[in-house]
Amino acid sequence: MLENLVMFNNEMVVMDQEKKIEQFQYKAEMKQLLNLIIHSLYTHPEVFLRELVSNSSDALNKIRFMKLTNEQVLSPEEELKITISIEPENGFFSIEDTGIGMTHEDLVERIGTVASSGTLEYIKNLKDAEKADNQLIGKFGVGFYSIFMVTDEVTIETRHADLNSIAYKWTSQGEDSYSVEPIEKENRGTKISFKLKDEYKYIADKFQIKQILNKYSNFVDFPIYIENEKVNVVEALWHKKEADLVKEEVSEFYKFISNDYFPPLDYLKLDIEGTINFKALLFIPENAPQNLFQERDRKTLHLYSSKVFINDDCQELLPDYLSFIKGVIDTEDLPLNVSREVTQNSPVIHKIADIIKSRILSWLEKMANDDNEKYEKFYREFGSLFKTGTNSDYMNKKRIVDLLRYESSNTKAGEFTTLNKYTSVLDTKQEHIYYLTGPNREQVERNPNLEYFKKNDIEVLYLTDPVDVFTVPYFGDYEGKSFKSIEKADIKIENNEESQVDEEAKTDLLAYFKTILGDKVEDVVESKRLVESPVTLVVGAEGMDPQMEKMMQYMEKNYTLSKRILEVNINHKIIKNLSEIYNKDKDDPRLKNAIEQLFDSALLLEGYLKNPADFVTRMNDFIMKATEN
């Protein structure tokens, strides 16, 4: 035997020249991955069947599509189907499809290699095996290897649909290597065969397989045969009339297309006829993914043209802020030989997208009206992303804004109000919709700037979602009222309480504050908004929202905070005391200490205190004096 070592795609290949068998080593990462997949990733070994069926279904979709675009294909008359064969006595199992088949490159680059680089790390960090079963597989292109849970050796025989393709046999024991060799195979498609390990032999049984298919692969678009018996019903659920849809069936369909474990929160069936015709079945998931804002990867609604799957990555179908919606769209108005590029620029797609967008908004509006509990569930899960629509979908801004929910000084914790509610009870004198930003309700409620509003029963919205500072200030007017942060210095406050400190003493004291604090503040002024607190910090009329600044600081280490205006509550007992001391002896050291302490406390409340050491030293000093006998 003549053995040569050749480099192929950076992998070491041993080549048997006579038989043309190539031997490939798995890369290190792949080996670890295989080990994890086989031993810890899946809790339900039978999911291997779902993975194989779903790969076959993809391959069949591809050939159906290829045939539409009039390309010449191998065995054009062949029925598009999946065939499962078993030998119950010895556990032999095979699954064959008449799909697009694989080239040599597919076998090496797609089957023999992990698709995305972060996969191994990701899988290593997975703890919840249940989750892995249901969400992870497929997403990371490792589904095929689930087969090694139930067998020790796999053979793939495949021939690509190109007329002059060569057929190959791929064999692996899933440990460190696999081999590829040319074979004779007349028809296009792929056959995967293996012998089930003893403990999984029971799967080689018609009834078992039917049950597994029923659980995982109910909606495969192609007939599946076991030993000549067709075992699935192929139907395009979205072609049914709304009244004929059965909830359980719709739920199962949702799980099938979304890889979700839970049923959807709600669904919407559309049957649009007119200048544009399409049918759609859309879903809102029950739960948001962890990375809601990055989730917009490549996948979106499944696009069909007259029941033929076209793609599931046509980004034009949904705007980003609605990208959490899952579902299917089927239209007769796309040319059948539509290509990926065509879907991107197609006026048909853009019209469909406009209609879908508007229908989704109506759906949410109706839900908010009829079933507030469900709507709030949706909002808590997807609200953050949904809100960003106010920045991008100018045409529908008012509709989106009306669907937003906020906590406020008038709601209980965890309860929402709407802008409509807020403005409908407003006294005509109030020009603004007031808001206050902060990381959570507790902190917002501790903000001294709220005191006046609480005392006078003026509602203030609590904006606690980081997205709020990037959206609310840009809403413009709502029902003729503009949005205003109550942390701004230029807020109009009518406070008729008489100051009990005379004007001159007041001016002198404020000037003294300024001398002590120097360039740490932009200004020191008398406050009208404080009730219980002696001082507070506010932002100049043109200044940035403090919560926004915090975010800037977070994103940019060297970001310097803008200076604040210190507002002083002249009627507060502490301030009155200071005024008295000041009048007696301007050089009393207690004055300077107290002013610095008040300023630092205000910083501390807002989370800006940089130097706690001085603060604590002064504080200890005060305690010392307060506790002296």
Nearer to ligand ADP by Cβ, of 142 and 288: the residue is 142
At 216, is the secondary structure helix, strand, or coil? Answer: helix
Handedness of CA 536, 540, 541, 545 (dihedral sign): negative
CB of 404 to ligand ADP, least distance (A): 37
CB of 470 to ligand ADP, least distance (A): 35
β-partners of residue 157 are: 169, 191
Nearer to ligand ADP by Cβ, of 109 and 295: the residue is 109
CB of 8 to ligand ADP, least distance (A): 18
Nearer to ligand ADP by Cβ, of 57 and 346: the residue is 57
d(CA 271, CA 109): 42
CB of 190 to ligand ADP, least distance (A): 4
Q: Which of 325, 305, 479, 483 is nearest to 406 (CA)?
A: 483
Which residues does 169 contact at the CB level (< 8 Å), separation at least 6?
155, 156, 157, 180, 181, 182, 183
CB of 214 to ligand ADP, least distance (A): 21
Which residues does 329 contact at the CB level (< 8 Å), separation at least 6?
278, 279, 280, 301, 302, 303, 304, 317, 352, 356
Nearer to ligand ADP by Cβ, of 261 and 554: the residue is 261
Nearer to ligand ADP by Cβ, of 190 and 571: the residue is 190
Using CA atoms, how far residue 154 sits from 30, 58, 145, 177, in Å, is 16, 20, 10, 12
Nearer to ligand ADP by Cβ, of 169 and 357: the residue is 169
Reading the block at residue 435, the tokens are 């808001």
Nearer to ligand ADP by Cβ, of 55 and 331: the residue is 55
Give yes or no for a contact between 165 and 188, defined as CB atoms under 8 angstroms apart: yes
CB of 30 to ligand ADP, least distance (A): 11
CB of 180 to ligand ADP, least distance (A): 13
Q: What are phi and psi of 561, to 5 degrees?
A: -65, 145
d(CA 447, CA 458): 15
CB of 101 to ligand ADP, least distance (A): 6
Place of tokens 């069949």: 60
Q: Which of 294, 339, 347, 293 is nearest to 316 (CA)?
A: 347
Nearer to ligand ADP by Cβ, of 97 and 487: the residue is 97
Using CA atoms, how far residue 184 sits from 50, 96, 160, in Å, is 28, 16, 12
d(CA 616, CA 123): 47
d(CA 145, CA 147): 5
CB of 98 to ligand ADP, least distance (A): 10
What residues line the site for ligand ADP (CB under 6 A)? 51, 55-56, 59, 97, 99-102, 106, 110-111, 115, 138, 141-144, 190
> SS3 sequence, 111-125?
HCCCCCCCHHHHHHH
Nearer to ligand ADP by Cβ, of 32 and 417: the residue is 32
